Amino acid sequence: MAQSRQWKTLVVALVGVVVLVGAVYAFLEWQNNRPATPVDELTVSVTANGETQDIGVYTVCELDEECPGGDAPTMQLGEDDVTVALPDEIARNSWRLLLVYDDPDANEERVFTSGESASESAPAVTASGAKLVVAEVTTLDIKEGDDGEETPVIATWSVGFN
């Protein structure tokens, strides 16, 4: 009878382990294969002068193609730093932050590897007095076409400052 109880305990433990491993595997498969938000639907949050605005994508271009952007949204610039916050879908890729000031000597480009940063701050006015005019976030991503074909694209989010 004691031996029968040990077998039952062993079988229950093995079944529990199999169920646990199966659940972990199923979760990982779901996480790897769940549909991602299309790059042209992502927004970048920009905070300037105490106001936060979600900025939609400015351009999405296939590699080596030039595409016109139109007018970028604008925000009021204050004295405090400007903060750019990215969703995980952008931050997990390599991305670039371009800061354009009214003095070309103050312009700055920051490049980040995947997962390195999801938020960056920049001075609205530099120590030399240059004012921020434009901030742009750019990343390389994959866009799925209507036919299901995946194409590499360069996506840019841009905001101007008054």
Convert the pLDDT of each residue in 24-64 to its tens digit: 877 677 666 656 789 999 999 999 999 999 999 999 999 98
95 and 15 in a single domain? The answer is no
6 and 70 in a single domain? The answer is no
- Residue 115 is part of which domain span? 39-161
Instruction: Count Cβ neighbours within 10 Å for each residue of 124-136 and write b for 16 or more, e otherwise.
Output: bbbeeebebbbbb
64 and 131 in a single domain? The answer is yes
Place of tokens 């979760």: 27
* pLDDT at position 33: 63
Say how many domains are in the chain: 2
45 and 75 in a single domain? The answer is yes
Chain-centre distance for alpha carbon 40: 12
98 and 18 in a single domain? The answer is no
21 and 75 in a single domain? The answer is no
17 and 63 in a single domain? The answer is no
3 and 62 in a single domain? The answer is no
* pLDDT at position 108: 97
Low-confidence ranges of the chain (pLDDT < 50): none
Q: What is the pTM of this model?
A: 0.78
